[in-house]
């Protein structure tokens, strides 16, 4: 096993300037918000916690997270008040929809896994990968890799409506 202290570029000294930094969210662009919201709420169990429209710039932002009832009980009723609440969460997924893309049959976003490669995937932890994959199959979800494929039998990769890969661990 690699000693993490020996990984080139790994800064291991405590830095008081960054001690309160917390990873908050990842943003991906989506072609059709209806399809993406359905996928992430119905298929992946996320909760939509905030939506903002920017009419002058012709785009909308949707913020989703995985919250149990106890965690979501503090969600403010007012959308403007939710901004601060969302900024205090961890692991938020922000979907950005540029208006009109849903009406262009030829429009597609680059998923990052074709040349030139870049962004790779997001990941969801599930209690049982095989049971989750059985559910995904019943729901018609597209697989990139099933647990039975390849040598890594404990993971799967599915695709969202825009073709972004989602690792299931």
Longest Cα separation, the chain:
53
In this structure, are residues 62 and 28 in contact, taking their beta carbons and an 8 Å threshold? no
Candidate list 70, 94, 137, 167, residue with the active-site label: 167
CA dihedral 146, 90, 163, 60 (to 10 degrees): 160
If one counts every other C-beta atom within 10 angstroms of the C-beta of residue 108, the result is 11
94 is catalytic: no
93: Cβ contacts below 8 Å, ≥ 6 apart: 25, 26, 28, 40, 46, 63, 64, 65, 122
Whole-number CA gyration radius for the chain: 18
How far is residue 85's CA from residue 79's CA, in Å, rounded to a whole number? 10
Residues that are catalytic: 167
């Amino acid at each position: 096993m690699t000693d993490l202290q020996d990984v080139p570029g790994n800064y291991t000294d405590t830095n008081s300037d960054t001690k309160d930094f917390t990873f908050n969210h990842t943003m991906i662009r989506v072609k059709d918000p209806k399809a993406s919201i359905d996928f992430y709420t119905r298929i992946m169990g996320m909760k939509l916690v905030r939506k903002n429209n920017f009419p002058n710039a012709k785009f909308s932002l949707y913020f989703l997270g995985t919250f149990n009832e106890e965690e979501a009980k503090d969600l403010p009723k007012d959308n403007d008040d939710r901004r601060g609440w969302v900024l205090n969460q961890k692991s938020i997924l922000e979907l950005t929809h540029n208006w009109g893309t849903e009406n262009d049959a030829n429009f597609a976003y680059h998923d990052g896994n074709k040349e030139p490669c870049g962004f790779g995937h997001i990941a969801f932890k599930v209690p049982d990968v095989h049971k989750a994959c059985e559910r995904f199959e019943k729901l018609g979800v597209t697989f990139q890799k099933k647990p039975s494929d390849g040598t890594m039998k404990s993971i799967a990769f599915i695709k969202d409506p825009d073709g972004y890969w989602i690792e299931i661990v």
